[in-house]
Structures are given as C-alpha cells and as structure tokens.
Amino acid sequence: MAAEIKDANFEELLKGNERVVVDFWAPWCGPCKQIAPYVEELAEKYAGQMLVGKCDIDENPELPSRYGVRNIPTILFIKNGEVVDKHVGAVPKNKLEEKFEAFLAK
C-alpha cells in the first residue's frame, strides 16, 4: 500500500529512504483516479526497494508548491533527496512500471 505523504511527514520519509516516489493527486481528478490502482500495485511490488507514496495536493499545499507541481497527476522520482525523474499525466500501467524499473536502475 502506498504511504500517505503529507507536508508534515515528508522530510522524515526522505531521510529514511534512499528512493522515494511521490504521486501528487486530488480526489476530484479523473486521471489521478485512473492511475491510482497502478500506483498501489507498484507500491506493493517495490516495497523494500523504494518508498511509494501519495500526496493529496488539496490537503498538503506546501509540497506541490515546493516541487513546482502544476498539473496532476504528477509523479516525482526522488533519489537521495534529489528529483531524478518526473512523469505528468495518466499513463498505462506498463509504461509506469517501466519508469519504476528505470528509477531502480539509477
């Protein structure tokens, strides 16, 4: 299951994990709902290799602002505190999984 990422717990999660994937979403966003099951599946598949979490932009405005998130869904791939990749918009599960695999190889 994907972790719940909030403005308040993000720094702590970054310190404890070398690789972090953050899905910025909102409950009213159709494309976000479309990829949500994929993000959950990949969170389980890659558990122990990376932290996968979801950040509701309506409840946590600081993080999207900090990372310049203007459209959702936006998925950031963060390694050692630095954004190394980003995906904006809905995508088929196999394409999202390719992004996760490439992130793991970095």
- For the question of residue 55 being annotated catalytic, the response is no
| Rounded-to-integer distance, Cα 22 and Cα 75, Å | 5
| Beta bridge pairs of residue 88 | 74
Domain 3-105 has CATH 2.40.110.10: no
Active site residue 29: yes
At CA 89, angle to CA 83 and CA 90, rounded to 5?
Answer: 120
- CA-CA-CA-CA torsion for 94, 42, 53, 106, nearest 10 degrees? -70
Out of 2, 22, 29, 57, the active site residue is 29
Q: Which of 5, 20, 21, 32 is catalytic?
A: 32
The closest alpha carbon to 97, from 42, 15, 26, belongs to 42
pLDDT of residue 61: 97
Answer yes or no: is pLDDT of 106 > 90: no
DSSP string, 22-75: EEEE-TT-HHHHHHHHHHHHHHHHTTTT-EEEEEETTT--HHHHHTT--SSSEE
Strand partners, 3: 53
Q: What is the pLDDT of residues 48-76, one digit of tens each?
A: 999 999 999 999 999 999 999 999 999 99
pLDDT of res. 52? 98
